Amino acid sequence: MNATTPLPAPPFFTLTGNLLAERTLELPSWSPGETHRATAGSFQTGGKGINVSRMLTRLETPNTALCFPGGATGGECLAWMRAHGLSVRAFPNATPTRAGFVVRSPGRKETTFLGPDAPADAASLTACAQFLDTLAGGAVVAFCGSFPGWDSLEARPLRESLDRLIARATVCVDSYGPPLAWFVARPVALIKINRAEFDLLFLEPHQQRPVAARLAEMPARSPALRWIVTDGAREITFATRENPPLTLTPPAVAEVSATGSGDVLFACVLHALFVRGFSLADAVSFALPFASANAASPGIADFNMNQVPQSRSLSTP
């Protein structure tokens, strides 16, 4: 692994366009059509960018979470983030933040129910755009998750601001749907996506080809500088514009909850690339054990840092 001396940490920001007020219920068992009483419950603020901020904070990488809270659920999300030591820059939204429920029961995979998306309104989108325009060129901005209303007229100021930001700062992306298609056409520093979203970038006859073979073609299809394609607990494939694709196998763990593991991976890659100065290969190698440790834990970015597995392997396709 690269032993480069840590760099002066740049200002980090995460941008979450679809905040979540998430409640988890613990049940001895459950089945549809019946009434169940939980034995325990908890609350947390969800959203991919919030998860990334949580892991960056655990890595002692100062960062600010940008988000669009609305209504009572949004206020609850803000209170939780601040109580858990996250730095937040909120752009208040007229639409209440969506709610969600996670149901856990012994011997069964956890089940998540998500409420309707809560698109940011024109005023909050414009306020966010104006804030992004104030960021200096050394900033690292992670655009995370879905973004309801991305293609709308109301979101135009934000899209234009991000275009300006990409030209002067470091913008990294872990998204899907319309925002992903937009960022693929731009010279962002990094795109991290899962295998299903990567497949959708290709016509159906090509979706079954090896990921590495298709990733090798991306410099001709996209100006993005780096790519990471995840596939659950299976191997991860990554490449830069200058270097051919490589694969890494995550450490094997007894999975408890995979929720947020991709976000932990993303945060650790960002830390390794832009704080430690690692190459992409070393950054992914550094990040994988943390993502596996997260999958072996019921929470998100709250696993025991002293029990992070170290086994991984590097190979060419």
Helix (H, G, I), strand (E, B) or coil at 83: helix
Judged by phi (left if over 0) then psi (alpha if -120 to 50, else beta), residue 154 lies in alpha
Pair 92, 124: CB distance under 8 Å: yes
Give the tokens for residue 273: 């690339």
77: phi > 0 → left, psi -120 to 50 → alpha, else beta; which? alpha
- C-alpha angle 119/14/99, rounded to 5°? 40
Q: Can you give the pLDDT at residue 2?
A: 47
Kindly state the tokens that stand for 47: 């959203």
Strands 140-144, 108-114: pairing is: unpaired
Q: pLDDT 10s digit of each residue in the chain, 317 long? A: 444 555 566 899 999 999 999 998 888 888 888 888 888 888 889 999 999 999 999 999 999 999 999 999 999 999 999 999 999 999 999 999 999 988 888 888 878 888 899 899 999 999 999 999 999 999 999 999 999 999 999 999 999 999 999 999 999 999 999 999 999 999 999 999 999 999 999 998 889 899 999 999 999 999 999 999 999 888 999 999 999 999 998 888 888 888 889 999 999 999 999 999 999 999 999 999 999 988 888 888 888 888 788 766 555 44
Give yes or no for a contact between 182 and 164, defined as CB atoms under 8 angstroms apart: no
Please tell me what DSSP assigns to residue 259. T
Q: Which of 90, 148, 113 lies closest to 24 in space, CA to CA?
A: 113
Tokens 């856990």, located at residue: 104
Q: How high is the pLDDT of residue 253? A: 87
Which residue shows structure tokens 């899962």? 194
pLDDT at position 33 is 83
Residue whose C-alpha is closest to residue 228's, from 296, 162, 300, 175: 175
How many angstroms separate the Cα of 30 from the Cα of each of 34, 255, 263? 8, 21, 29
Of 135, 139, 141, 134, nearest to 171 by C-alpha is: 141
**Identity (one letter) of the amino acid at 317?**
P
- In whole angstroms, give the CA distance from residue 69 to residue 16: 10
pLDDT of residue 305: 86
The string of DSSP letters for 225-238 reads SEEEEEBTBS-EEE
Residues 6+ positions from 73 with CB-CB distance below 8 Å:
21, 96, 97, 98, 99
Output phi, psi for 262, to 5 deg: -65, -35
**3-state SS class at 148:** coil
User: What is the pLDDT, as a whole number, of residue 314?
Assistant: 58
State the burial class of residue 200 (Cβ atoms within 10 Å of its Cβ: 0-12, 13-18, 19+): middle
Closest by Cα among 205, 202, 232, 203 to 215 = 202
Do 229 and 193 form a contact (C-beta atoms < 8 A)? yes
Give the pLDDT confidence score for residue 7 in this predicted structure. 54
- Show the domains of the chain with their CATH numbers: 12-20+47-98+118-305 (3.40.1190.20)
| Tokens found for residue 258 | 């995979």
Round to whole Å and give the CA distance between 136 and 167.
Answer: 11
Residue 18 CB: number of other CB atoms within 10 A? 23
Asked if residue 45 lies in contact with residue 26, where contact means CB atoms within 8 angstroms, the answer is no
Q: Residue 316's pLDDT is what?
A: 47
